[in-house]
Amino acid sequence: MKKNLLFTALLLLAGITTFAQVKWNADPAHTNVIFSVKHLGINYIQGHFTKYNISVETADTVNFHQAKITADVDANSINTGVDQRDAHLKTDDFLNAAAFPNLSLKTIAFKKITSTKYVLLAELTIRNTTKRVTFDVTYGGLLRDPWGLKRAGFSAKATINRLEFGVKYADKLPSGVYAVSPTVEIVINTEIVKQ
């Protein structure tokens, strides 16, 4: 009888340990959500979003393999440094921020490849259209900062076709080159802090 109770207690404890989650949040002072797109086929224009929430859940405080990552980005916070262009990017030609105020990302899988490389397979939603996107992720390391907080650094990169997400602006030059390329490069640099 005692052996059965002990065995049951150990199983319960193992289950609690397995499902325990460590929560991390992006440090907004050390995080950037950046995009880059070719203009007129000759130059790249970059921009970023100033408002977002990025959270990560891990099984423990040192292992990020199979981490659960969610990100919500405010479409109205888009910033390319040119007010007129930013206003255009918020219209129905591009993000339609009035109708679709959020861009979001949710993990399907986060796999460790080497000590500094991961692959993130995620569902990315833009304009209410969700597609699977693969990010190449570089792990910068884990440390306890001067303020006693545990933090880790990551840089994630992906390329998408914006037309597949319903971003419909598709004007072309007489040469046939897109005025704004369908191909968009996304970079997320972040330091996440254990909560």
How does residue 107 score in pLDDT terms, banded at 50, 70 and 90? very high
Is it the case that residue 83 has pLDDT exceeding 50?
yes
pLDDT in the model for residue 125? 98
- In this predicted structure, what is the pLDDT of residue 1? 55
Q: Which domains does the chain have, with CATH numbers?
A: 21-194 (2.40.128.110)
Q: What is the pLDDT of residues 9-45, one digit of tens each?
A: 444 444 444 455 999 999 999 999 999 999 999 999 9
How sure is the predictor about 5, in pLDDT bands with cuts at 50, 70 and 90?
Answer: very low
Is-above-0.85 flag for pTM?
yes
- For 165-185, the three-class secondary structure string (H helix, E strand, C coil) is HCCCCCCECCCCCECEEEEEE
